[in-house]
Amino acid sequence: MFSFSTPQPDRELAGAIRIFIESIIPFEKDSRNTSHGPTDDLRRELNKLAKDAGLLAPHVSQRYGGKSLTQMQRAIVFEAAGYSPLGPIALHCAAPDEGNMHLLEMVASEAQKEHFLRPLATAQVRSCFAMTEPSPGAGSDPSLLQTTATGDGETFRVSGRKWLITGGEGAAFMILMARTIIEGRDAGATMFLVDLPNPAVKVTRLIDSMDSSFTEGHAVVDIENLVVTKDDVLGEIGQGLRYAQVRLAPARLSHCMRWLGAAQRAHDIAVEHARIRPAFGVPIGQHEAVGFSLADNDMDLHVARLVTMHGAWTLDQGQRGSMESSRAKVIVSEALFRVADRCVQILGGLGLTADTVVAQIFRELRAFRIYDGPSETHRWALARRIVSPKHSSGGSVQ
């Protein structure tokens, strides 16, 4: 049975994180927090503060220094972390590292876990996930992969171009998705683990984008004659698309959790402004138009939180959660963007400035409707499942 109660230890952990986040909010104005995201120097400083507070990477297993959080626990903790755009960076639970840690824990060999996961989980290094390609390559449709790994099953040469690779600049390793050709036969998509830097892998451009909360931004990465072997394969050859779903279903929910915290922050700022900003003889919050906007915010935040928690609960039951994560991705990304949009409107001219974090949150939440699958792709995926003869029209809460 789905429960709405929060265990006391989880509340205490979330409370400790909220106190920590309040302490790092001043870093939002740090010059190292750039239009391409926080620099590695700022990340390392924030990670040290989180480690000293006993809050670094709480999601990973205890084997790697974390707290082995369930998805339901992550929902509470990640929302608390997301109250500042720097919170997930500080706690080392931001994308793409958090999703990569999950994937490595689920799929990597023991040797790969020691080489790649352990230093990642302890924030000694950063990573990137290289699947997305510019048109006509893989975007929402990963079957369109243009990057190819050609070889005999023992050794491969990989060439291609990836773009919008978050954290590609300065990453210590890459999880690289490529279409595998073995002796002329298409063996399907495969994930490879690639140590960086490597002369065959070059960041050719940092892309100017509307979001700015991911460490070192988003890169175009050119790969030319990269040599990898079967020992570099993550999991099994040809199973890359299946592993992508292992990573992406919980990663979509993690985004929902983190951005819930950010939207709540924007709402809190708007509420305080509405209480003190006078217009026509009374605080603007007493005017129906503003009051109704705040009420709509409250409802959107509540629904977004519920659908996120249900998706997390589904994963904790051992289910794949594909439908639940797609549903949450659409509902939450669109609801939270409405929240941020209303907050900008309530703040008026102040909402257009960098004097508060609301303008940044607005930009970030607009981007959220695109990455990890745009709303249109998830609606299409949901529709296919709904009309499938195997689909049950009953509710999934038990």
Q: What's the pLDDT score for residue 390?
A: 79
Peptide bond into 119 cis (omega under 30): no
Q: Beta strand pairing status for 127-130 and 173-182? A: parallel
Q: Do residues 246 and 233 share a domain?
A: no
Reported in sequence order, the residue ranges of 167-242 that DSSP labels E, i.e. its strands, are: 173-182, 185-195, 201-207, 218-229
CA distance 48 to 134: 36
Distance CA 223, CA 205 (A): 13
Residues 131 and 90 in one domain: no
30 contacts 42 by C-beta, under 8 angstroms: yes
With contact defined as beta carbons under 8 Å apart, do 148 and 159 qualify? yes
Instruction: Clarify whether residues 282 and 365 are in a common domain.
Output: yes
Domain count for the chain, please give it: 3
Same domain, 234 and 252: no
> Tens digits of per-residue pLDDT, 327-359?
999 999 999 999 999 999 999 999 999 999 999
Distance CA 169, CA 105 (A): 24
Q: Are residues 337 and 262 in the same domain?
A: yes
CA distance 262 to 9: 23
15 class by beta-carbon count within 10 Å (0-12 exposed, 13-18 middle, 19+ buried):
exposed
| In contact, 263 and 301? CB cutoff 8 Å | yes
| Element containing residue 151 per DSSP (H, E) | strand 148-151
Whether 70 maps to a domain, the answer reads yes
Cα radius of gyration (the chain): 21
Q: Is residue 118 part of a domain?
A: no
Distance separating alpha carbons of residues 311 and 326, to the nearest angstrom: 9
Residues 287 and 217 in one domain: no
**End of a domain among 194, 217, 238?**
238
What are the beta bridge partners of residue 219? 165, 206
Tell whether 54 and 182 lie within a shared domain.
no
What pLDDT score was predicted for residue 1?
A: 53
pTM of this prediction exceeds 0.85: yes
* Residue 142, pLDDT score: 85
Q: Are residues 228 and 362 in the same domain?
A: no
135 to each of 25, 207, 373, how far by Cα in Å? 38, 15, 15
Specify if 135 maps to a domain: yes
Tell me if 334 is assigned to some domain: yes
143 and 215 share a domain? yes
Residue where one domain finishes, among candidates 72, 94, 116: 94
Going from the C-alpha of 168 to that of each of 28, 175, 287, the distances in angstroms are 22, 11, 47
What is the C-alpha to C-alpha distance for residues 87 and 321, in angstroms, rounded to an integer?
26
Residues found in the chain? 398
Residue 155's domain comprises: 127-238
- What pLDDT, on a 0 to 100 scale, did the predictor assign at position 298? 98
281 domain residue, yes or no: yes
Q: Is residue 252 part of a domain?
A: yes
What was the pLDDT predicted at 393?
56
- 52 contacts: CB under 8 Å, gap ≥ 6: none
pLDDT digits (tens, 9 = 90+) for 272-307: 999 999 999 999 999 999 999 999 999 999 999 999
Residues 270 and 374 in one domain: yes
Asked if residue 149 is part of any domain, the answer here is yes
Classify residue 112: in a domain, yes or no: no
CB-count burial class (<10 Å; 0-12, 13-18, 19+) for 293? buried
Q: Which of 77, 94, 111 is the last residue of a domain?
A: 94
What separation in angstroms does the CA of 376 have from each of 150, 260, 331, 348, 373? 33, 21, 12, 31, 8
Tokens 């979509």 appear where?
A: 252
CATH, residue 382 = 1.20.140.10
Are 289 and 381 contained in the same domain? yes
Examine the domain organization and report whether 215 and 253 are in the same domain.
Answer: no
Residue ranges of the chain whose pLDDT lies below 70 = 1-2, 392-398
Residue 127: closest CA among 70, 77, 69, 168:
168
| CATH code, domain carrying 88 | 1.10.540.10
CATH of the domain at 179: 2.40.110.10
Question: Are 351 and 345 in contact, with CB atoms under 8 Å apart?
Answer: yes
